[in-house]
Amino acid sequence: MSQQNRTTTNLLRGTLALGLLGVIAAYLKASPERFWANWILWFVLLFTVALGALFIVALEHLVNAKWSVPIRRIPERIATLLIPVAPIGLIALGALPVLYPGTRPEALHNKILAGKAFWLSSPFFSVRTVLSLVLVLVGLAVLVGGSLKQDTTKDPAFNFRARKFAPAFMGIFALVITLVAFDWVSGLTPEWYSDVIGVYLFAGAFLGGLAATSLAVLYLRDQNRLQGIRKDHLYNLGGFLFAFTVFWSYIGFAQYMLMWYANLPDEVIYFQARLTGGWHTVTFALAFFHFVMPFFALVTRDAKGDGSRLRRVALLMLGAHILDIYWLIFPVLPGGPHFSWPELSFALLFLSGALLWIRGAMEKGEDLPIGDPFLKEGLEFRL
């Protein structure tokens, strides 16, 4: 390890320790509602980014894409974040009696919640969470574990097995992302319901995984560790970022427009909480940073293949994804937007921990899937 890498690693470890102390202080001093809101935010955030990266891997196998083979190891490594995220999700179950009204005994006195009592109950909620974590870890083992073994075995049969498994994983992905959206997000306001909240979270997860992948590809390319990656590969990454920025915006606006037009009391409560009490500023900031800026930054053909611009937009999209999850979760707390030392402590702990994990993953195995028989064709990709 170079001196620069050691310095960076030590800095991240120091930040991790500082964040851990802050989180412990938040557990002791802050309200339980605020502590668990922060915990859920970072669980959902890291889970969606890692799951979005695994979706990219499965999508390549599903459509038998060749251009993305040289960069496939990057989302594979990011997807391994699912391993440390799993226990974070299990700990998050401690938030159920604090933040999730449907899990409390008094929910039976609410006519709407009483009709959903079995679904919202803590035991069934916990079963769905454990099932979701197990399913995605199985997908990780098959798609990523098999790919790493192929580096040694050079067995082309893995590509056939992965392509057969990819459709099943898409079913797993659809189920899990919908459960996370219904349980961990809309479960905070159980009287409210949206058919497209799962699609909305899927769009954000794919963008988060794609942004993290783009940043890692550019970083490794700058380190001369991804020989053969050219502007054509970057253009495709930029094109996906641009397309799903529009898709996320369409789903978000469609959800708002339909509920605003219908003006039903059990639907407007969700947006009323996000357009009053200081939250309107966060809502407009989300629209600006998650759609307006990246849309115009990537709208031209040349911009999509510009590594420098792609890096800035990917960083912006990750920041916007954090803001999006914050906007989904924190309005359930009273008193308007919260951001002070508890939120900063959680950010330091989970961001530094995630970066340390990914840095460690980047040092294991080959940077290119050298056992894949389609690697040469992927390196020769031209638009």
- The DSSP call for residue 183 is I
Instruction: Name residues whose C-beta falls within 8 Å of residue 110's C-beta, 6 or more positions apart in sequence.
Output: 101, 191
Tokens 């420098």 belong to which residue?
308
Determine the average pLDDT of the residues in 219-241: 93
Q: Would you place residue 1 in the very low, low, confident or very high pLDDT band (cuts 50, 70, 90)?
A: low
- For residue 272, the tally of other CB atoms under 10 A from its CB is 13
- Asked if 80 contacts 144 with a C-beta cutoff of 8 angstroms, the reply is yes
* Percentage, residues of the chain above pLDDT 70: 99
Cα-Cα-Cα-Cα dihedral sign, residues 121, 92, 42, 40:
positive
pLDDT tens digits for range 136-167: 999 999 999 999 999 999 999 999 999 999 99
List phi, psi (to 5°) of 209: -65, -40
**Burial zone of 163 (CB within 10 Å; 0-12 exposed, 13-18 middle, 19+ buried):** middle
Q: What pLDDT sits at residue 2?
A: 66
- Under 8 Å CB-to-CB from 239, ≥6 apart: which residues? 304
Task: Indicate the DSSP class of residue 145.
Answer: I
Residue 271 tokens, joined: 């947006």
pLDDT at 365 (0 to 100): 84
Other beta carbons within 10 angstroms of residue 337's beta carbon come to 15
> Can you give the pLDDT at residue 15?
95
The answer, yes or no, to whether residue 278 has pLDDT greater than 70, is yes
**N-term to C-term CA, the chain:** 36
pLDDT above 60 for 115: yes
pLDDT in tens, 284-321: 999 999 999 999 999 999 999 999 999 999 999 999 99
The mean pLDDT of the chain is 94
DSSP state of 195: T
Q: Find out whether 251 and 292 touch, Cβ atoms under 8 Å.
A: no
Domain ranges of the chain: 10-379
Using pLDDT thresholds of 50, 70 and 90, give the confidence band for residue 353: very high
Nearest to 359 by CA among 225, 230, 233: 225
pLDDT of residue 266: 80
* pLDDT tens track for 246-272: 999 999 999 999 999 988 888 888 999
- Angle at the Cα of 249 from the Cα atoms of 246 and 252, rounded to 5 degrees: 150
Q: Which stretches within 64-156 are classed as H helix?
A: 73-79, 82-92, 96-99, 111-114, 117-120, 122-140, 146-153
* Contact (Cβ atoms closer than 8 angstroms) between residue 345 and residue 19: yes
Mean pLDDT value across residues 211-222: 95
> What is the DSSP secondary-structure string of 231-287?
HHHHHHHHHHHHHHHHHHHHHHHHHHHHHHHH--HHHHHHHHHHSSTTHHHHHHHHH
Reported as a single tens digit per residue, the pLDDT across 15-58 is 999 999 999 999 999 999 999 999 999 999 999 999 999 999 99
Tokens read off for 84? 């440390």
**Type of residue numbered 151:** D
Q: How many CB atoms lie within 10 A of CB 112?
A: 13
**Cβ contacts of 302 within 8 Å, gap of 6 or more:** none
* Dihedral pair phi/psi, residue 143, rounded to 5°: -80, -45
Q: Among 189, 183, 193, 188, which residue's Cα sits nearest to residue 267?
A: 193
